[in-house]
Structure 1
Amino acid sequence: MVTIKNYQMHVNAEGKLFISLELIGDAEIIQSKETGRFYVTAKKCFVPSTFDEITAKLMIGKEMAGNIVKKECSAYEYRVPGTGEIISLSHQYEYVP
């Protein structure tokens, strides 16, 4: 199961507004490769929708069947929000119904 956590408004290449939903999966325990300590995390992703803003707000908190999975992709740079460090990643998370 995944839960709709939030939504974001975007403008596409043609200048049209659309909304994506932020999905979050179940909590999971992960062991740090650096420290060996355990921490709790949850996978998240964004999925485009056809909803207007009012409908998107109503969807927050709703659960949907499916999972968020890790998928390999072309390498890209990512700035870590807490530290500002730039790292290279070659995966992304996707929703699978």
Structure 2
Amino acid sequence: MITSPKLTQKLEKMVRIINYKKRQSEDKEFFVLEVTGGIEMVKSKTTELYYATAKKASITSTFDEETCKGLIGSEFPGSIAKQQCEAYEFTLKETGEVLTLNHRYVYLPEESNSPSQSAANYESPQSASVFSKEEELTLAD
């Protein structure tokens, strides 16, 4: 029996770099890459209509600003997954509403199966950005 390689290949999940941001640590400046996963259709709890969305996450980098600019639009294997974390508060910029979350979205390399495998030892910095419900959120101190 002859099988086509196209039919037996595993489909790779990909993420795309959509932006970058400058961050400041205690002693130096660095850049994070903002990545997004593929499109997902989600059913609204209030209207019961579907809408398109995509999960987002930030990845710390060692790149300079010019390299980060050049990487926008690049894709690489992996996915964005929801990971449980210690509860934190943030304020929605548009409304001023303060919400409490106990999850964040993290990048998982292609070989990882779960958020706990690749990020189990990760400790969240006190002023890191988190993406949730399509809003960029800043962790409260």
TM-score exceeds 0.5: yes
Bigger Rg, structure 1 or 2? 2
**Residue of structure 2 equivalent to 1:54:** 66
User: Could you tell me the TM-score, scaled by structure 1's length?
Assistant: 0.92
Unaligned runs of 5+ in 1: none
Unaligned runs of 5+ in 2: 1-13, 110-141
Pairwise CA distance, 1:34: 2.6
Pairwise CA distance, 1:68: 0.3
| SS in structure 2 at match of 1:55 | helix
Alignment of 1:12 with 2:25, yes or no, is: yes
Pairwise CA distance, 1:37: 1.9
Pairwise CA distance, 1:82: 3.6
Pairwise CA distance, 1:41: 0.6
| SS in structure 1 at match of 2:67 | helix
**Residue of structure 2 equivalent to 1:36:** 48
Tell me how large the CA RMSD over aligned residues is.
1.1
One-letter identity of the residue aligned with 1:4? I
In structure 2, C-alpha distance between the alignment counterparts of 1:83 and 1:42, rounded to whole Å: 22
Q: How many residues align?
A: 96
RCO comparison, higher one (Cα < 8 Å, 6+): 1
**Residue of structure 1 equivalent to 2:84:** 72
In structure 2, C-alpha distance between the alignment counterparts of 1:26 and 1:82, rounded to whole Å: 26
User: Could you tell me the TM-score, scaled by structure 2's length?
Assistant: 0.65
Deviations 1:47-79 (A, max 9, x none): 100000111111000001000000001111122
In structure 1, C-alpha distance between the alignment counterparts of 2:35 and 2:52, rounded to whole Å: 17
Structure holding more helix per residue? 2
Structure holding more strand per residue? 1
Pairwise CA distance, 1:30: 0.5
**Residue of structure 1 equivalent to 2:35:** 23
Aligned partner (choices 95, 116, 119) of residue 83 of structure 1: 95
